[in-house]
Amino acid sequence: MYRIMIIEDDQAMAEAMEKQIRSWGNECLCVRDFQNILPVFVEYDPHMVLMDIMLPFFNGYHWCSEIRRISNVPVVFISSASDNMNIVMAMNMGGDDFIPKPVDLQVMTAKIQAVLRRTYDMAGKVPVLEHRGAVLNLNSTVLTYQGERIELTKNEFRILQTLMENKGKVVSRDTLMTRLWQMDSYVEENTLTVNVTRLRKKLEGAGLADFIVTKVGRGYLIE
Domain ranges of the chain: 3-121, 128-221
Q: Could you tell me how many helices (H) and strands (E) the chain has, helices first?
A: 8, 11
Answer whether CATH 1.10.10.10 is correct for domain 128-221: yes
pLDDT 10s digits, 38-89:
989 988 889 999 999 888 988 888 898 888 888 888 999 987 765 666 667 6
Q: Is the distance from CB of 103 to CB of 17 less than 8 angstroms?
A: yes
Q: At what angle do helices 154-165 and 173-180 cross, to 10 degrees?
A: 130
Q: Is the distance from CB of 60 to CB of 7 less than 8 angstroms?
A: yes
- Alpha carbons 208 and 133: distance in angstroms, whole number: 10
Q: For residue 63, which of 37, 81, 89, 83 has the smallest C-alpha distance? A: 37
pLDDT 10s digits, 146-195:
878 888 888 899 899 999 999 889 999 888 888 777 655 456 667 888 98
- Alpha carbons 139 and 61: distance in angstroms, whole number: 27
Alpha-carbon 100 to chain mean position: 25
CB within 8 Å of 10: residues ≥ 6 apart: 52
Answer whether CATH 3.30.43.10 is correct for domain 3-121: no
Model confidence at 11, pLDDT cuts 50, 70, 90, reads very high
Residue 52, CB-side half-sphere exposure with 13 Å CA sphere: 23
pLDDT 10s digits, 90-128:
666 677 888 888 888 888 888 888 888 888 765 445 578
Residue 221 reports pLDDT greater than 60: yes
